[in-house]
């Protein structure tokens, strides 16, 4: 079944992912593209405990994920990929990964960011990464939960 969703969510695995998206996506494996979690087994264990029942979890750097991507696309498991930031997704694209669609589920407020949607706040670097992805043909859909309407995020940035 391969990769069922690539999602930008700065909370990684949490209630919306496990309880909100879990029954729709039925992920069997979750990949956290996060260098900090990849370097900290205790943090990985914490996130793994929050995963939907039956889903395994691993954490990788962008470089390692780019190497593994083709294998995931042919994988029999349903794989969910989570990243914290659009800059990580852009780095993935620059590393040679071709993406069709990216879900934006949670980019929360921090200093210097402006609100685009109640669950999406961006700064200039975020906008640059999102626009670059869109320019390369990646559809960027903002949707926090599967039952809510999706929005073309790049059109909302202007």
Min. distance of Cβ 142 from other proteins in angstroms?
A: 15
3-state secondary structure of 30: strand
DSSP 34-88: -HHHHT-HHHHHHHHHTSPTT-EEEEE-HHHHHHHHHHHHT-SSEEEEEES-HHH
Q: How far is the CB of 18 from other proteins (least distance, A)?
A: 6
* Least spacing, CB of residue 50 vs other proteins, in Å: 3
Q: Which of 14, 29, 90, 108 is catalytic?
A: 14
Nearer to other proteins, 22 or 97 (CB): 22
Nearer to other proteins, 86 or 106 (CB): 106
CB of 55 to other proteins, least distance (A): 12
Task: Give how far Cα 85 sits from Cα of 7, 23, 103, 117, 140, Å.
Answer: 9, 24, 11, 16, 13
φ, ψ of residue 100 to 5 degrees: the values are -90, -45
Euclidean distance between the first and the last CA atom of the chain, given in angstroms as a whole number: 36
Residues that bind other proteins (CB under 8 A): 10-15, 18, 42-43, 46-47, 49-51, 84, 106-110, 118, 121
The residue (of 46 and 145) whose beta carbon lies closer to other proteins is 46
- Given the structure tokens 């992912």, which residue do they identify? 17
The answer to whether residue 14 is catalytic is yes
Nearer to other proteins, 42 or 74 (CB): 42
Strands 151-152 and 120-122: unpaired
What residues are annotated to the active site?
A: 14
């Amino acid at each position: 079944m391969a990769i069922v969703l690539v999602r930008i969510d700065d909370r990684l695995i949490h209630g919306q992912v496990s309880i909100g998206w879990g029954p729709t996506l039925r992920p069997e494996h979750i990949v956290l593209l996060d260098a900090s979690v990849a370097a900290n087994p205790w943090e990985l264990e914490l996130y793994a405990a929050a995963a939907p029942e039956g889903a395994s979890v691993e954490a990788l750097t962008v470089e390692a994920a780019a190497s593994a991507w083709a294998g995931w696309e042919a994988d029999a498991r349903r794989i969910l990929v989570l990243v914290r930031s659009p800059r990580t997704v852009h780095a993935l694209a620059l590393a040679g990964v071709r993406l069709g669609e990216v879900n934006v589920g949670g980019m929360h407020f921090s200093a210097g960011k402006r609100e685009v949607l109640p669950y999406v706040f961006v700064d200039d670097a975020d906008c640059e990464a999102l626009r670059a992805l869109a320019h390369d043909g990646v559809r960027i859909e903002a949707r926090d939960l599967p039952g809510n309407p999706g929005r073309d995020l790049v059109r909302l940035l202007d």
